[in-house]
């Protein structure tokens, strides 16, 4: 079974600085998708970024980028120029791309990010 691990329960960053959130996963599959979701205090789950495992190029979305290391099964999220609105719980998630697999997301335990003004 696949598992997702986020080893940092809490992180803090100064406004305008850069922070990296860690995520590792365990799978025997070769094809899959990885996601970072953001959950602000409003509780809404918001997709931040996604990565297809077959792509070597790291995904980027404006100030958000990932460092995808397939061999190491690592998928970290870098937030540049942190803003107060980035304060939230961040979840790493895995989804199989295997034929016949279901579309369920497997989540890590989350990292609570605080942004200091």
Q: Which is closer to another protein, CB of 19 or CB of 110?
A: 110
DSSP string, 61-98: ETTEEEEEETTTTEEEEEE-S--GGG-EEEEEEEEE-S
- Smallest gap from residue 93 Cβ to another protein (A): 8
Q: Which of 110, 99, 93 is nearest to 33 (CA)?
A: 93
Q: Which is closer to another protein, CB of 78 or CB of 95?
A: 95
| Tokens (6 digits) for 108 | 């890590």
Query: Binding residues for another protein, per CB under 8 A?
Result: 33, 35, 37, 39, 42-47, 50, 89, 91, 95-98, 101-107, 109-110
- Smallest gap from residue 28 Cβ to another protein (A): 16
- Smallest gap from residue 37 Cβ to another protein (A): 8
Rounded to whole angstroms, the Cα distance separating 100 from 63 reads 35
Q: Which is closer to another protein, CB of 31 or CB of 81?
A: 31
Q: Which is closer to another protein, CB of 70 or CB of 97?
A: 97
| Tokens (6 digits) for 56 | 């070597």
- Smallest gap from residue 39 Cβ to another protein (A): 8
Rounded to whole angstroms, the Cα distance separating 75 from 11 reads 17
């Amino acid at each position: 079974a696949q598992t997702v691990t986020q080893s940092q329960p809490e992180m803090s960053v100064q406004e305008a600085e850069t922070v990296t959130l860690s995520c590792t996963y365990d799978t025997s599959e070769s094809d899959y998708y990885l996601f970072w979701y953001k959950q602000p205090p409003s509780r809404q789950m918001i997709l931040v970024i996604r990565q297809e495992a077959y792509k070597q190029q790291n995904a980027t979305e404006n100030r958000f980028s990932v460092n995808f290391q397939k061999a190491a099964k690592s998928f970290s999220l870098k937030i540049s120029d942190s803003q107060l609105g980035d304060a939230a719980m961040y979840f790493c998630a895995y989804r199989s791309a295997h034929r016949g697999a279901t579309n369920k997301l497997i989540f890590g335990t989350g990292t609570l990010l605080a942004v200091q003004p």
